[in-house]
Amino acid sequence: MALPKLKTPVYTLDLPSTGEKVKYRPFLVKEQKILMMAQESENSEEIFDAISSLINSCTFDKVNGKTSPVFDIEYIFLKVRSKSVGETTTVNVLCPDDNETRVPVSIKFDDIYVQITDEHSNEVKISDDIKMVMKYPQLSDIKGMTLKEKTQTSQVFDILKKCIWEVHHGDVIHNRVDISDEDIEEFINNFTTEQFEMVIKFFDTMPKLRHEVEVTNPKTKVKGKVIIEGLDNFLE
């Protein structure tokens, strides 16, 4: 006699990038096993592949784990994890008054959202007649580097080359698919410092998981507020 099939609960979330409603389910033991094995390997490519596969499966293939914006993937993963292994997480927060004391803080996953700043735009105007239209980094764009490395200066150029979607020069539009890697690299290398900072602002202000917590330093008794950003910082 066949064993009974277990029913898995289904939930709904709003996709941060579009507002589209997406159904999702908790991950199964077999998927958790793959993810844990990837984490234990400490191989960033294996971890990203596991997360990507998990996102595909848990959203019933409605969200592509490799081509969706990273902040969508992070938000979905957080939601899936909360329904799979627990609704809260504990994060060791650095007290801002002395920058050395860490305090454990319990955070509900439902309180964590992707936030978009008012000053953010996916268009970067670097001169009177030249502007770039940017696309958001995808999981495939940061594959091969650790989560902690994804915003380091050494990685910015590689990500930037992948995130320039269009270059507008007056009425002429150059699509990234028609621009060689050599030409886009030369284009970027000829930025002034001011122009490069304009581009970096796109990455600094783009949507991301963000949550503010208040902590009290047990040594100094001083209260302070701390901003926690990015999936890796919520899953220490």
190 & 131 share domain: yes
Q: Are residues 153 and 185 in the same domain?
A: yes
Q: How many domains does the chain have?
A: 3
Is 3 a member of any domain? Answer: no
Q: Is residue 154 over pLDDT 90?
A: no
**Residue 21 is part of which domain span?**
11-86
Let me know whether 25 and 94 are in one domain: no
Asked if residue 188 lies in contact with residue 156, where contact means CB atoms within 8 angstroms, the answer is: no
Same structural domain, 186 and 130: yes
Residue 163 pLDDT level (bands cut at 50, 70, 90): very high
Do both 97 and 162 map to the same domain? no
Please check the confidence at residue 236 and state whether its pLDDT lies above 70: no
Q: What is the pLDDT of residue 103?
A: 94
Q: Is residue 229 part of a domain?
A: yes
Q: Looking at the structure, tell me whether residues 28 and 47 fall in a common domain.
A: yes
Q: Is 78 helix (H, G, I), strand (E, B) or coil?
A: helix
Does 114 map to a domain?
no
**Six token digits for residue 5:** 């099939």
Average pLDDT, integer, range 105-120: 90
**CA angle centred on 201, ends 195 and 204, rounded to 5°:** 150
Which H helix or E strand runs over 149?
none
The percentage of residues in the chain with a pLDDT greater than 90, rounded to a whole number, is 64
pLDDT-based confidence at residue 76 (cuts at 50, 70, 90): very high
| Partner residues linked to 130 by β-bridges | 169
Residue 147 has pLDDT above 70, yes or no: no
72 and 55 assigned to the same domain: yes
Helix axes 193-205, 153-163, angle to 10 degrees: 80
CA–CA gap between residue 116 and residue 121 (Å, rounded)? 10
In a domain, 176, yes or no: yes
Confidence of residue 83 (pLDDT cuts 50, 70, 90): very high
Mean model confidence pLDDT for the chain: 89
Classify residue 1: in a domain, yes or no: no
pLDDT exceeds 70 at position 148:
no
pLDDT of residue 149: 46
Shared domain check, 33 and 54:
yes
Same domain membership, residue 80 and residue 25:
yes
Query: Would 116 be classed as within a structural domain?
Result: no
DSSP helix/strand/coil, 105: strand
Q: Can you give the pLDDT at residue 122?
A: 94
User: Does residue 22 have a pLDDT over 90?
Assistant: yes
Identify the sign of the CA torsion 222, 226, 232, 234.
positive
Q: What is the pLDDT of residue 16?
A: 94
Residues 68 and 96 occupy one common structural domain:
no
Most confident of 13-17, 107-111, 227-231: 13-17
Task: Enter the pTM of the model.
Answer: 0.84
pLDDT (average), residues 51-69:
94
